[in-house]
Amino acid sequence: MLASPLAPVDVPTGPKDVPTVQVRSNTNTLPSSWWSSERLYELERRAIFSQSWLFVTHASRFEKEGTYSSFEIAGYPFFVIREKAAPGQELQKPVLRAFHNACRHRAYPVAKKKEGNVGMSGVLSCGYHGWCYDTRGALRKAPQFDNVPGFDKSANGLFPVHTHVTATGLVFVNFTASPEPPAFNEVFRGFEEEMKEFEFSDYEYRESYELHGDFNWKALMDGYQECYHCPTAHPGLSKAFAIPTYKVVPRSNYCRHFADQRPARVVPPPKRPGGERQRSGSITEWLGSFIFAEKVAEQEALEKAKNVAGEFDGLWVYAFPNSGINCYSPAWYTLRVVPVSATKTILEYDIYQKKGIDEQEMLEFIDFLKQVEQEDFDLCQATQRNLRAGVYTSGVLHPEKENGVIYYQDMVREKVLQHHEMEKAAGKEISPASSGPRDSAEDEVCKALESGRCGGSRDLEW
Protein backbone atom coordinates (compact mmCIF):
# COMPACT_ATOMS: atom_id res chain seq x y z
CA MET A 1 0.00 0.00 0.00
CA LEU A 2 2.80 2.43 0.88
CA ALA A 3 5.59 2.89 -1.61
CA SER A 4 9.22 2.15 -0.80
CA PRO A 5 11.93 3.09 -0.01
CA LEU A 6 11.17 2.62 3.62
CA ALA A 7 12.55 4.77 6.34
CA PRO A 8 14.89 3.13 8.83
CA VAL A 9 12.85 2.27 11.88
CA ASP A 10 14.29 3.03 15.28
CA VAL A 11 11.20 3.51 17.30
CA PRO A 12 9.73 1.93 20.39
CA THR A 13 7.01 -0.57 19.67
CA GLY A 14 5.29 0.00 22.97
CA PRO A 15 4.66 -2.43 25.75
CA LYS A 16 2.24 -4.49 23.70
CA ASP A 17 3.08 -6.25 20.49
CA VAL A 18 0.98 -4.02 18.27
CA PRO A 19 1.65 -3.71 14.56
CA THR A 20 3.98 -0.92 13.54
CA VAL A 21 3.77 0.49 10.04
CA GLN A 22 6.74 1.83 8.13
CA VAL A 23 6.38 4.95 6.06
CA ARG A 24 8.03 6.30 2.96
CA SER A 25 11.35 8.00 3.60
CA ASN A 26 11.20 10.58 0.89
CA THR A 27 8.06 12.47 0.16
CA ASN A 28 6.50 15.84 -0.32
CA THR A 29 3.39 17.16 1.30
CA LEU A 30 0.08 16.90 -0.48
CA PRO A 31 -0.46 19.86 -2.83
CA SER A 32 -1.55 23.08 -1.11
CA SER A 33 -4.79 23.09 -3.14
CA TRP A 34 -5.97 20.24 -0.89
CA TRP A 35 -6.13 22.75 1.98
CA SER A 36 -8.50 25.16 0.25
CA SER A 37 -10.49 23.47 -2.53
CA GLU A 38 -14.17 23.11 -1.59
CA ARG A 39 -14.57 20.37 -4.20
CA LEU A 40 -11.67 18.45 -2.73
CA TYR A 41 -13.21 18.85 0.72
CA GLU A 42 -16.53 17.47 -0.57
CA LEU A 43 -14.61 14.51 -1.99
CA GLU A 44 -12.90 14.00 1.40
CA ARG A 45 -16.34 13.92 3.02
CA ARG A 46 -17.37 11.10 0.70
CA ALA A 47 -14.03 9.28 0.62
CA ILE A 48 -13.03 9.60 4.27
CA PHE A 49 -15.53 11.08 6.73
CA SER A 50 -18.60 9.21 5.54
CA GLN A 51 -17.03 5.78 5.90
CA SER A 52 -14.24 5.90 8.51
CA TRP A 53 -14.58 5.08 12.18
CA LEU A 54 -14.56 8.49 13.89
CA PHE A 55 -13.77 9.00 17.56
CA VAL A 56 -16.52 10.94 19.34
CA THR A 57 -16.68 10.78 23.13
CA HIS A 58 -16.42 8.63 26.24
CA ALA A 59 -19.12 6.34 27.58
CA SER A 60 -18.78 7.77 31.11
CA ARG A 61 -20.66 10.86 29.92
CA PHE A 62 -23.85 8.79 29.58
CA GLU A 63 -24.39 7.93 33.21
CA LYS A 64 -28.19 7.74 33.03
CA GLU A 65 -30.44 5.96 30.57
CA GLY A 66 -31.90 8.36 28.03
CA THR A 67 -28.91 10.76 28.15
CA TYR A 68 -27.78 12.07 24.79
CA SER A 69 -25.06 14.30 23.30
CA SER A 70 -25.26 15.85 19.85
CA PHE A 71 -22.32 16.40 17.53
CA GLU A 72 -21.52 17.38 13.99
CA ILE A 73 -18.49 16.15 12.06
CA ALA A 74 -17.77 17.19 8.48
CA GLY A 75 -21.34 18.38 8.03
CA TYR A 76 -22.95 15.23 9.42
CA PRO A 77 -25.10 16.15 12.46
CA PHE A 78 -25.77 13.16 14.71
CA PHE A 79 -26.35 12.30 18.32
CA VAL A 80 -25.26 9.54 20.67
CA ILE A 81 -27.87 8.32 23.15
CA ARG A 82 -27.98 5.76 25.93
CA GLU A 83 -30.90 3.45 25.44
CA LYS A 84 -33.71 3.74 27.97
CA ALA A 85 -35.54 0.63 29.04
CA ALA A 86 -39.26 0.46 28.30
CA PRO A 87 -41.45 1.05 31.39
CA GLY A 88 -41.32 -1.96 33.69
CA GLN A 89 -38.33 -3.48 31.93
CA GLU A 90 -34.60 -3.52 32.60
CA LEU A 91 -31.67 -3.57 30.22
CA GLN A 92 -29.02 -6.20 30.83
CA LYS A 93 -26.21 -3.71 30.18
CA PRO A 94 -25.86 -0.08 29.05
CA VAL A 95 -26.33 0.35 25.31
CA LEU A 96 -25.12 3.40 23.40
CA ARG A 97 -26.65 4.11 20.01
CA ALA A 98 -26.16 6.90 17.51
CA PHE A 99 -28.51 8.41 14.94
CA HIS A 100 -28.33 11.05 12.26
CA ASN A 101 -29.92 14.12 13.78
CA ALA A 102 -32.55 14.52 11.08
CA CYS A 103 -36.25 13.88 11.47
CA ARG A 104 -37.56 11.39 8.92
CA HIS A 105 -40.50 13.70 8.19
CA ARG A 106 -38.90 16.88 6.85
CA ALA A 107 -35.33 16.68 8.21
CA TYR A 108 -35.59 19.05 11.19
CA PRO A 109 -33.01 18.22 13.91
CA VAL A 110 -34.58 15.93 16.48
CA ALA A 111 -32.05 16.55 19.26
CA LYS A 112 -32.03 20.31 19.71
CA LYS A 113 -29.72 20.55 22.71
CA LYS A 114 -26.00 19.85 22.89
CA GLU A 115 -26.70 17.53 25.82
CA GLY A 116 -29.90 16.32 27.38
CA ASN A 117 -32.06 13.45 28.54
CA VAL A 118 -35.32 12.16 27.14
CA GLY A 119 -36.79 12.17 30.65
CA MET A 120 -39.90 10.28 31.70
CA SER A 121 -41.45 10.35 28.26
CA GLY A 122 -38.64 8.17 26.92
CA VAL A 123 -38.84 9.89 23.53
CA LEU A 124 -37.27 12.72 21.60
CA SER A 125 -39.92 14.93 20.14
CA CYS A 126 -39.23 16.78 16.89
CA GLY A 127 -39.85 20.49 17.35
CA TYR A 128 -41.31 20.99 13.87
CA HIS A 129 -44.47 18.82 13.64
CA GLY A 130 -44.11 16.69 16.75
CA TRP A 131 -42.97 13.31 15.48
CA CYS A 132 -41.55 11.32 18.42
CA TYR A 133 -38.76 8.76 18.44
CA ASP A 134 -37.71 6.39 21.21
CA THR A 135 -34.10 5.78 22.23
CA ARG A 136 -33.83 2.92 19.73
CA GLY A 137 -34.70 5.36 16.95
CA ALA A 138 -38.18 3.91 16.32
CA LEU A 139 -40.92 6.35 15.35
CA ARG A 140 -43.49 6.23 18.14
CA LYS A 141 -45.83 9.03 17.19
CA ALA A 142 -46.57 10.94 13.98
CA PRO A 143 -49.49 13.29 14.74
CA GLN A 144 -52.47 12.88 12.39
CA PHE A 145 -50.71 10.34 10.21
CA ASP A 146 -52.68 7.40 11.62
CA ASN A 147 -55.24 7.53 8.85
CA VAL A 148 -52.86 8.30 5.99
CA PRO A 149 -53.09 5.35 3.61
CA GLY A 150 -49.87 3.44 3.18
CA PHE A 151 -47.98 5.29 5.91
CA ASP A 152 -45.70 2.88 7.74
CA LYS A 153 -44.30 4.01 11.05
CA SER A 154 -41.78 1.20 11.13
CA ALA A 155 -40.24 2.44 7.87
CA ASN A 156 -39.72 5.92 9.27
CA GLY A 157 -37.37 5.43 12.19
CA LEU A 158 -34.28 7.60 12.57
CA PHE A 159 -31.35 6.76 10.32
CA PRO A 160 -28.94 4.78 12.52
CA VAL A 161 -25.23 5.54 12.74
CA HIS A 162 -22.92 2.60 13.46
CA THR A 163 -21.27 2.78 16.88
CA HIS A 164 -18.38 0.99 18.50
CA VAL A 165 -17.52 1.34 22.19
CA THR A 166 -14.09 0.04 23.19
CA ALA A 167 -13.47 -1.90 26.38
CA THR A 168 -12.10 1.37 27.81
CA GLY A 169 -15.28 3.28 26.95
CA LEU A 170 -14.09 5.21 23.89
CA VAL A 171 -17.02 5.78 21.56
CA PHE A 172 -16.59 5.74 17.78
CA VAL A 173 -19.14 6.18 15.00
CA ASN A 174 -19.23 5.32 11.33
CA PHE A 175 -21.67 7.07 8.97
CA THR A 176 -21.68 4.53 6.20
CA ALA A 177 -25.24 3.59 5.25
CA SER A 178 -24.05 0.07 4.49
CA PRO A 179 -25.34 -2.39 7.08
CA GLU A 180 -21.80 -3.77 7.29
CA PRO A 181 -19.25 -1.12 8.30
CA PRO A 182 -15.56 -2.07 8.24
CA ALA A 183 -14.73 -4.21 11.29
CA PHE A 184 -13.45 -1.82 13.97
CA ASN A 185 -10.72 -4.12 15.25
CA GLU A 186 -9.43 -4.76 11.76
CA VAL A 187 -9.26 -1.05 11.02
CA PHE A 188 -7.65 -0.20 14.37
CA ARG A 189 -5.66 -3.40 14.94
CA GLY A 190 -4.16 -3.38 18.42
CA PHE A 191 -5.84 -0.12 19.45
CA GLU A 192 -8.21 -1.55 22.05
CA GLU A 193 -5.40 -3.46 23.76
CA GLU A 194 -3.04 -0.50 23.77
CA MET A 195 -5.61 1.84 25.31
CA LYS A 196 -5.93 -0.51 28.29
CA GLU A 197 -2.61 0.87 29.54
CA PHE A 198 -4.53 3.84 30.91
CA GLU A 199 -7.04 3.52 33.73
CA PHE A 200 -9.93 5.52 32.23
CA SER A 201 -12.25 4.55 35.08
CA ASP A 202 -10.19 6.70 37.48
CA TYR A 203 -11.27 9.83 35.58
CA GLU A 204 -14.45 11.86 35.23
CA TYR A 205 -15.62 14.36 32.64
CA ARG A 206 -14.78 17.93 33.62
CA GLU A 207 -15.32 20.41 30.80
CA SER A 208 -15.10 21.12 27.09
CA TYR A 209 -13.96 24.05 25.02
CA GLU A 210 -13.72 24.93 21.35
CA LEU A 211 -11.46 26.94 19.08
CA HIS A 212 -12.88 28.12 15.74
CA GLY A 213 -10.21 28.25 13.06
CA ASP A 214 -9.98 29.67 9.55
CA PHE A 215 -8.05 26.71 8.26
CA ASN A 216 -8.45 23.30 6.72
CA TRP A 217 -8.78 20.34 9.12
CA LYS A 218 -5.48 18.91 7.79
CA ALA A 219 -3.60 22.03 8.91
CA LEU A 220 -4.12 20.95 12.52
CA MET A 221 -3.49 17.26 11.83
CA ASP A 222 -0.17 18.19 10.20
CA GLY A 223 0.99 19.83 13.41
CA TYR A 224 -0.51 17.16 15.63
CA GLN A 225 1.38 14.40 13.85
CA GLU A 226 4.88 15.68 14.54
CA CYS A 227 6.87 17.40 17.26
CA TYR A 228 9.53 18.73 14.89
CA HIS A 229 7.93 22.12 15.59
CA CYS A 230 7.97 21.76 19.38
CA PRO A 231 11.34 23.38 20.18
CA THR A 232 10.40 26.47 18.19
CA ALA A 233 6.67 26.68 18.80
CA HIS A 234 6.04 25.09 22.24
CA PRO A 235 8.51 26.38 24.84
CA GLY A 236 6.36 25.08 27.71
CA LEU A 237 6.00 21.60 26.25
CA SER A 238 9.70 21.49 25.52
CA LYS A 239 10.39 22.03 29.20
CA ALA A 240 8.13 19.18 30.26
CA PHE A 241 9.36 16.61 27.72
CA ALA A 242 12.68 15.73 26.13
CA ILE A 243 11.68 16.69 22.61
CA PRO A 244 14.61 14.90 20.88
CA THR A 245 13.09 11.64 22.19
CA TYR A 246 9.68 12.44 20.66
CA LYS A 247 8.59 9.69 18.30
CA VAL A 248 5.46 9.02 16.29
CA VAL A 249 4.87 5.33 15.71
CA PRO A 250 2.34 4.54 12.99
CA ARG A 251 0.14 1.54 13.81
CA SER A 252 -2.99 0.49 12.01
CA ASN A 253 -4.98 3.63 11.12
CA TYR A 254 -3.70 5.23 14.30
CA CYS A 255 -0.35 6.44 15.64
CA ARG A 256 1.12 6.24 19.09
CA HIS A 257 3.25 9.18 20.19
CA PHE A 258 6.10 8.75 22.67
CA ALA A 259 8.42 11.15 24.50
CA ASP A 260 10.50 10.94 27.65
CA GLN A 261 9.67 13.34 30.42
CA ARG A 262 12.41 15.84 31.19
CA PRO A 263 14.29 14.65 34.25
CA ALA A 264 13.96 17.07 37.12
CA ARG A 265 17.39 17.57 38.63
CA VAL A 266 16.97 20.39 41.05
CA VAL A 267 20.25 20.92 42.90
CA PRO A 268 19.93 23.53 45.60
CA PRO A 269 22.55 26.27 45.32
CA PRO A 270 24.97 26.86 48.20
CA LYS A 271 23.33 29.01 50.82
CA ARG A 272 24.62 31.44 53.41
CA PRO A 273 23.89 30.57 56.94
CA GLY A 274 21.09 33.16 56.86
CA GLY A 275 19.47 31.39 53.93
CA GLU A 276 20.53 33.76 51.14
CA ARG A 277 22.40 32.41 48.17
CA GLN A 278 26.11 32.88 48.57
CA ARG A 279 27.97 35.26 46.31
CA SER A 280 31.77 35.33 46.25
CA GLY A 281 34.05 38.26 45.64
CA SER A 282 35.44 37.89 42.12
CA ILE A 283 33.50 39.02 39.04
CA THR A 284 33.82 35.57 37.51
CA GLU A 285 32.57 33.87 40.63
CA TRP A 286 29.81 36.41 41.03
CA LEU A 287 28.73 35.90 37.40
CA GLY A 288 29.01 32.14 37.82
CA SER A 289 26.80 32.27 40.84
CA PHE A 290 24.32 34.43 38.94
CA ILE A 291 24.21 31.96 36.04
CA PHE A 292 23.88 29.14 38.54
CA ALA A 293 20.92 30.88 40.11
CA GLU A 294 19.34 31.23 36.68
CA LYS A 295 19.94 27.57 35.99
CA VAL A 296 18.26 26.68 39.26
CA ALA A 297 15.29 28.84 38.34
CA GLU A 298 15.13 27.08 34.99
CA GLN A 299 15.32 23.69 36.63
CA GLU A 300 12.61 24.67 39.06
CA ALA A 301 10.49 25.62 36.06
CA LEU A 302 11.22 22.19 34.58
CA GLU A 303 10.16 20.56 37.80
CA LYS A 304 6.93 22.56 37.68
CA ALA A 305 6.32 21.63 34.07
CA LYS A 306 6.91 18.00 34.89
CA ASN A 307 4.41 18.18 37.71
CA VAL A 308 1.85 19.76 35.41
CA ALA A 309 2.13 16.85 32.99
CA GLY A 310 2.10 14.37 35.85
CA GLU A 311 4.10 11.24 36.56
CA PHE A 312 2.51 8.94 34.00
CA ASP A 313 4.62 8.53 30.86
CA GLY A 314 1.66 9.46 28.73
CA LEU A 315 -0.52 7.66 26.24
CA TRP A 316 -0.96 9.89 23.24
CA VAL A 317 -2.76 8.61 20.22
CA TYR A 318 -3.81 9.99 16.87
CA ALA A 319 -6.83 8.16 15.45
CA PHE A 320 -7.33 8.56 11.71
CA PRO A 321 -8.65 10.77 10.36
CA ASN A 322 -9.29 13.61 12.78
CA SER A 323 -8.86 12.82 16.46
CA GLY A 324 -6.36 12.87 19.25
CA ILE A 325 -6.61 11.10 22.62
CA ASN A 326 -4.02 12.34 25.11
CA CYS A 327 -3.67 10.75 28.52
CA TYR A 328 -1.58 12.25 31.31
CA SER A 329 -1.82 11.47 35.00
CA PRO A 330 -3.77 14.55 36.22
CA ALA A 331 -6.21 14.31 33.31
CA TRP A 332 -6.82 13.03 29.84
CA TYR A 333 -8.34 14.99 27.04
CA THR A 334 -9.60 14.41 23.55
CA LEU A 335 -9.46 16.53 20.44
CA ARG A 336 -11.98 16.27 17.64
CA VAL A 337 -10.80 18.24 14.63
CA VAL A 338 -14.16 19.02 13.05
CA PRO A 339 -14.11 20.13 9.43
CA VAL A 340 -16.81 22.67 8.63
CA SER A 341 -15.68 23.59 5.12
CA ALA A 342 -12.43 23.53 3.17
CA THR A 343 -11.16 26.49 5.17
CA LYS A 344 -13.13 26.38 8.44
CA THR A 345 -12.46 23.95 11.26
CA ILE A 346 -13.64 23.67 14.85
CA LEU A 347 -11.27 22.18 17.39
CA GLU A 348 -13.35 20.51 20.10
CA TYR A 349 -11.58 19.61 23.34
CA ASP A 350 -13.10 17.44 26.09
CA ILE A 351 -11.21 17.22 29.38
CA TYR A 352 -11.55 14.38 31.89
CA GLN A 353 -9.92 14.88 35.28
CA LYS A 354 -8.62 12.40 37.81
CA LYS A 355 -11.28 11.78 40.42
CA GLY A 356 -10.48 13.73 43.59
CA ILE A 357 -7.66 15.75 42.03
CA ASP A 358 -6.59 18.98 43.72
CA GLU A 359 -8.33 21.89 42.00
CA GLN A 360 -5.15 23.96 41.77
CA GLU A 361 -3.29 21.10 40.10
CA MET A 362 -6.11 20.71 37.63
CA LEU A 363 -6.18 24.42 36.81
CA GLU A 364 -2.43 24.33 36.15
CA PHE A 365 -2.89 21.37 33.84
CA ILE A 366 -5.67 23.13 31.92
CA ASP A 367 -3.51 26.26 31.57
CA PHE A 368 -0.69 24.08 30.26
CA LEU A 369 -3.00 22.36 27.80
CA LYS A 370 -4.65 25.55 26.57
CA GLN A 371 -1.30 27.24 26.11
CA VAL A 372 -0.01 24.42 23.89
CA GLU A 373 -3.27 24.21 21.93
CA GLN A 374 -3.37 27.96 21.36
CA GLU A 375 0.18 27.81 20.01
CA ASP A 376 -0.88 25.11 17.53
CA PHE A 377 -3.98 27.10 16.59
CA ASP A 378 -1.88 30.18 15.80
CA LEU A 379 0.45 28.10 13.62
CA CYS A 380 -2.52 26.82 11.62
CA GLN A 381 -4.08 30.26 11.13
CA ALA A 382 -0.88 31.72 9.70
CA THR A 383 0.02 28.64 7.63
CA GLN A 384 -3.41 28.48 6.00
CA ARG A 385 -3.11 32.06 4.75
CA ASN A 386 0.02 31.06 2.82
CA LEU A 387 -1.44 27.78 1.61
CA ARG A 388 -4.17 29.82 -0.10
CA ALA A 389 -1.87 32.49 -1.54
CA GLY A 390 -0.86 30.40 -4.55
CA VAL A 391 2.91 30.78 -4.13
CA TYR A 392 3.74 27.72 -2.04
CA THR A 393 2.50 24.50 -3.65
CA SER A 394 4.26 21.71 -1.77
CA GLY A 395 7.17 21.08 0.63
CA VAL A 396 9.55 18.34 1.70
CA LEU A 397 8.81 16.27 4.80
CA HIS A 398 11.51 14.91 7.12
CA PRO A 399 11.46 11.10 6.87
CA GLU A 400 11.77 10.54 10.63
CA LYS A 401 10.76 13.78 12.34
CA GLU A 402 7.63 14.05 10.20
CA ASN A 403 6.92 10.36 9.61
CA GLY A 404 3.51 10.77 11.25
CA VAL A 405 2.58 13.48 8.74
CA ILE A 406 3.72 11.28 5.87
CA TYR A 407 1.69 8.40 7.27
CA TYR A 408 -1.61 10.22 7.62
CA GLN A 409 -1.25 12.29 4.42
CA ASP A 410 -0.57 9.05 2.53
CA MET A 411 -3.82 7.66 3.92
CA VAL A 412 -5.71 10.80 2.88
CA ARG A 413 -4.15 10.69 -0.58
CA GLU A 414 -4.90 7.02 -1.08
CA LYS A 415 -8.51 7.21 0.06
CA VAL A 416 -9.26 10.34 -1.94
CA LEU A 417 -7.67 9.07 -5.16
CA GLN A 418 -9.27 5.67 -4.81
CA HIS A 419 -12.72 7.15 -4.27
CA HIS A 420 -12.24 9.56 -7.15
CA GLU A 421 -11.40 6.64 -9.44
CA MET A 422 -14.54 4.81 -8.29
CA GLU A 423 -16.68 7.86 -9.01
CA LYS A 424 -15.13 8.32 -12.43
CA ALA A 425 -15.84 4.69 -13.24
CA ALA A 426 -19.42 5.02 -11.98
CA GLY A 427 -19.93 8.35 -13.74
CA LYS A 428 -21.42 9.88 -10.60
CA GLU A 429 -20.69 10.83 -7.03
CA ILE A 430 -20.69 7.98 -4.53
CA SER A 431 -21.86 9.07 -1.08
CA PRO A 432 -21.46 6.18 1.35
CA ALA A 433 -23.45 7.94 4.10
CA SER A 434 -26.41 8.67 1.88
CA SER A 435 -29.49 6.68 2.77
CA GLY A 436 -31.14 6.61 -0.61
CA PRO A 437 -30.56 6.88 -4.36
CA ARG A 438 -29.56 10.26 -5.76
CA ASP A 439 -30.17 9.70 -9.44
CA SER A 440 -33.86 10.48 -9.82
CA ALA A 441 -35.06 12.63 -12.70
CA GLU A 442 -35.24 15.56 -10.31
CA ASP A 443 -31.64 14.99 -9.26
CA GLU A 444 -30.63 14.95 -12.90
CA VAL A 445 -32.03 18.47 -13.27
CA CYS A 446 -29.94 19.64 -10.37
CA LYS A 447 -26.91 17.86 -11.79
CA ALA A 448 -27.29 19.65 -15.09
CA LEU A 449 -27.79 23.02 -13.45
CA GLU A 450 -24.85 22.82 -11.12
CA SER A 451 -22.48 20.78 -13.26
CA GLY A 452 -22.04 18.07 -10.74
CA ARG A 453 -22.77 19.77 -7.42
CA CYS A 454 -25.96 17.75 -6.93
CA GLY A 455 -24.78 14.26 -7.74
CA GLY A 456 -22.80 14.78 -10.91
CA SER A 457 -19.35 13.60 -11.85
CA ARG A 458 -17.47 16.73 -12.77
CA ASP A 459 -13.74 16.14 -12.61
CA LEU A 460 -11.88 17.57 -9.68
CA GLU A 461 -9.55 20.45 -10.29
CA TRP A 462 -6.12 19.32 -9.28
Taking residues 348 to 377 in sequence order and writing x for each that binds Fe ion by CB under 5 A, - otherwise, the string is: ----------------------------x-
The torsion angles phi and psi of 181, rounded to 5 degrees, stand at: -70, 165
Nearer to ligand FES, 128 or 151 (CB): 128
**Residue 108 in the binding site for ligand FES (CB under 6 A):** yes
In 3D, which of 174, 159, 179, 173 has the Cα closest to residue 100? 159
Residues 368, 374, 377, 381, Cα dihedral to 10°? -160
CB of 238 to ligand FES, least distance (A): 52
Q: How far is CA 341 from CA 15, 281, 397, 454, in A?
A: 39, 66, 26, 17
Residue of the chain from 126, 379, 387, 430 that contacts ligand FES (CB under 6 A): 126
Please calculate the CA angle 237-243-247 and round it to the nearest 5 degrees.
115
C-alpha 226/C-alpha 405 separation (Å) is: 7
Neighbouring C-alpha atoms within 13 Å toward the C-beta of 353: 17
Residue count at the site for Fe ion (CB under 5 A)? 2
- Between helix 359-389 and helix 283-309 the angle, nearest 10°, is 90
Phi first, then psi, for residue 106 (nearest 5°) are -135, 25
Q: Which residues pair with 459 in a beta bridge?
A: none
By the 8 A CB rule, do 278 and 271 touch? yes
By CB under 6 A, name the one of 9, 14, 39, 129 that touches ligand FES.
Answer: 129
Question: Smaller CB distance to Fe ion: residue 48 or 369?
Answer: 369
Is residue 106 part of the contact set for ligand FES (CB under 6 A)?
yes
223 binds Fe ion per the rule CB under 5 A: yes
By C-beta, is 223 or 456 nearer to Fe ion? 223
Q: Pick from 251, 122, 101: which is nearest to 175 by CA? A: 101
Question: Is 103 near ligand FES (CB under 6 A)?
Answer: yes
376 interface partner picked from ligand FES, Fe ion, none, CB below 5 to 8 A per type: Fe ion
Considering the complex, state which of residue 139 and residue 430 has its C-beta at the smaller distance from ligand FES. 139
Q: Is 173 among the residues that bind ligand FES (CB under 6 A)?
A: no
Residue placing its CB nearer to Fe ion in the complex, 380 or 433: 380
Cβ closest to ligand FES, residue 112 vs residue 196? 112
In the complex, least distance from residue 205 CB atom to ligand FES, rounded to whole angstroms: 30
What is the nearest approach in angstroms of ligand FES to the Cβ of residue 130?
6
Residues in the site for ligand FES, rule: CB under 6 A? 103, 105-106, 108, 126, 128-131
